[in-house]
Amino acid sequence: MFLRRKHTQKDDSEQRDAKVSELRAAIGPLSGRSSKYCTDACLRRYLEARNWNVDKAKKMLEETLKWRSTYKPEEIRWHEVAHEGETGKVSRASFHDRQGRTVLIMRPGMQNTTSAENNIRHLVYLLENAIMNLSEGQEQMSWLIDFTGFSLNTNIPVRTARDIIYILQSHYPERLAIGFLYNPPRIFEAFYKAIRYFLDPKTAQKVKFVYPKNKDSVELMKSYFDVENLPSEFGGKATLKYDHEEFSRLMAQDDVKTAKFWGIDDKPYPIANVHSAAEVAPEPAAMAQRAS
């Protein structure tokens, strides 16, 4: 039985490697940033997202390459989006989950602007930054969404949510390991029903509603996070603090590394005095050599 299972796993691995090679041949020669983006790990993610159908994965990947060539997410710099992050509505956490994955903390109740375009650009920047800070061997990140202070006034429009979901699912496939919606109010449930329609079933399965007074929710959080590191807003024992000035310095340091990774001739941008309060990210981790 063990040998049969071992052979099956080996066969599956070989078949998937063959699919990766087939996809690489299908997309043809690449150059510049597209070549750097399309690592074997990247191709596997697109194949996984399309159930290992090479034709569908090819179409999806080509659409991403086209999007990246025009949107240029790797060229976004912190000083361009820093005003969106003044309240700490999205930031990289100072801790990892139990699997060592990067954690993004989102606090929709801290929404401070109304520009859909700028909100999306800010989120894309932090997605790219989180990917660059993934540990070696890690491909996915975890999300913690805190609904403290959430109201209809701070809620983003369904159309903006739809656009965000499209970008995440189309251009960052298999990047989300799990997303926790922590203690969402009832008014959010109607909003979620509206946006769930746009979620791929595989993505929807990764979204977990968790409640502090629910035993199963508490155990689920403990299975993914060390409560000593987890902020109290998510049922842990740590204190969540976001210092916008400190976070800005860390992002500026990461911007230099990002430019170097992508081969962009970038000059460091002086960080102005920025004021706000909230959660300090860690020292930038060593750049993952597989940024795609």
The structure tokens listed for 131 are 């990917």
Q: What CATH number does the domain containing 223 carry?
A: 3.40.525.10
Per-residue pLDDT tens over the stretch 60-105: 999 999 999 999 999 999 999 999 999 999 999 999 999 999 999 9
The structure tokens listed for 2 are 């063990």
Question: Are 58 and 87 found together in one domain?
Answer: no
Query: How confident is the model over 4-32, as a mean pLDDT?
Result: 86
Q: 103-140: b or e for each residue (b if 16 or more CB lie within 10 Å)?
A: bbbbbbbbbeeeeeeebbbbbbbbbbbbbbbbeeebbb
Across the chain, what does the average pLDDT equal? 89
Question: Are 59 and 158 found together in one domain?
Answer: no
Segment holding 95, helix H or strand E: strand 90-96
Decide if pLDDT at 279 tops 90: no
Question: Are 91 and 150 found together in one domain?
Answer: yes
Question: Are 82 and 150 found together in one domain?
Answer: yes
Contact 74, 264 (CB under 8 A): yes
Decide if pLDDT at 259 tops 50: yes
Looking at 71, 89, 117, the residue that finishes a domain is 71
Question: Are 158 and 88 found together in one domain?
Answer: yes
Question: Are 64 and 112 found together in one domain?
Answer: no
The SS3 assignment for 96 reads strand
Phi–psi pair at 223, nearest 5 degrees: -70, -20
Least confident of 175-179, 187-191, 205-209: 187-191
Residue type, 55: D
Task: Report the percent of the chain where pLDDT is more than 70.
Answer: 87
Beta strands (DSSP E) in 199-275 are 207-210
Those residues whose C-beta lies under 8 Å from the C-beta of residue 235, and which sit 6 or more positions away, are 182, 212, 218, 221, 227
Decide if pLDDT at 107 tops 90: yes
Higher pLDDT, 148 or 244: 244
Whole-number pLDDT of residue 275:
41
Full residue range of the structural domain in which residue 41 is found: 15-71
Number of domains present in the structure of the chain: 2
Decide if pLDDT at 10 tops 80: no
